[in-house]
Amino acid sequence: MEKEFEKLNEALTFIRSFYKEKPKVGVILGTGLGALVDEVEVELTISYQDIPHFSLSTVESHAGKLIFGKLSGQNVIVMQGRFHYYEGYLMKQIVFPVRVMKMLGIEYLFISNAAGALNPQYGLSELMVLEDHINLLPSNPLIGKNIPALGIRFPDMFEPYSSKLIQLADEIIQQNHNIEFHKGVYVSVSGPNLETRAEYRYLRTIGADAVGMSTVPEVIAAVHMNLPVFAVSVLTDLCQPENIKPITLEEVLAAAAEAEPKMAFLFKEMIKKLGFNL
């Protein structure tokens, strides 16, 4: 058996010895967006450090736990804390938990992230649902020997973000006029520095609406496994080259905290509806 697949199976076996349910949804929470966990009826929590072959999150704003429980009546697994390329992880380490969640049986992957707004129409603490992405990270999680048990060698990227899930999100905001979102293109960069003015101009020119340092590896791994993805960016800073200001992590976290309830509401309402086959 391929070595990476063996490792995935070891993590799976370990988790399966504690968790017997059939999970419906996997959720990855981004920087400053961990509060959704408070709304989960938690049944089991496992620290990343206890799971074979899981890496440890090095970013203070990310907790590093897998949470198993119920959200909106569905079995969910929530990753509180994710791995970023800028922390020094390999791509296969970044996507390891997504692969394990799929092997545990999740049918949908929900992702949130904090991102900078490149589109001048976007405002602070607003939401952008991802319709597409541009991968500017210097690597790809599928590089290396393919694992046929997970997916094919050359997965297409025709629909990286499930149009059915985006449609479901549209239906939810039509019924709840207190929230709204943009739809756009996310570009992933390595970080950890924020971009220069010239880079923001470049990212806008190549077609991106928001920029961040995560999400794309997990989405590529999910698409490889035929796992439908819904992803939302919370816009934590405005990256318009003509009037950008210096920003701090505290400001990013404050903007994320303001938007978090809207994102959490959207996720909860969507997950509720997943009971009825799309």
The residues binding ligand HPA (CB under 6 A) are: 114-116, 189, 191, 194-195, 211-213, 236-237, 239, 252
Cα distances (Å, whole numbers) of residue 118 to 41, 198, 266: 36, 12, 23
CA distance 151 to 117: 33
The smaller minimum CB distance to ligand HPA, of residues 40 and 256, is found at 256
Which residue's entry shows tokens 């694992």? 147
The smaller minimum CB distance to ligand HPA, of residues 126 and 237, is found at 237
SS3 4: helix
How many Cβ atoms from other residues are within 10 Å of residue 246's Cβ?
A: 6
Work out how close the CB of 20 gets to ligand HPA at its nearest, in angstroms, rounded to a whole number.
37
The smaller minimum CB distance to ligand HPA, of residues 19 and 86, is found at 86
Work out how close the CB of 241 gets to ligand HPA at its nearest, in angstroms, rounded to a whole number.
12
What is residue 278's DSSP assignment? -
CA distance 132 to 40: 29
Work out how close the CB of 222 gets to ligand HPA at its nearest, in angstroms, rounded to a whole number.
21
Length of the chain: 278
Select the residue whose beta carbon is closest to ligand HPA and give its number: 116
**What's phi and psi for 164, nearest 5 deg?**
-65, -40
CA distance 145 to 163: 30
How many Cβ atoms from other residues are within 10 Å of residue 261's Cβ?
A: 12
Work out how close the CB of 50 gets to ligand HPA at its nearest, in angstroms, rounded to a whole number.
29
The smaller minimum CB distance to ligand HPA, of residues 33 and 213, is found at 213
The smaller minimum CB distance to ligand HPA, of residues 7 and 84, is found at 84
The smaller minimum CB distance to ligand HPA, of residues 45 and 61, is found at 61
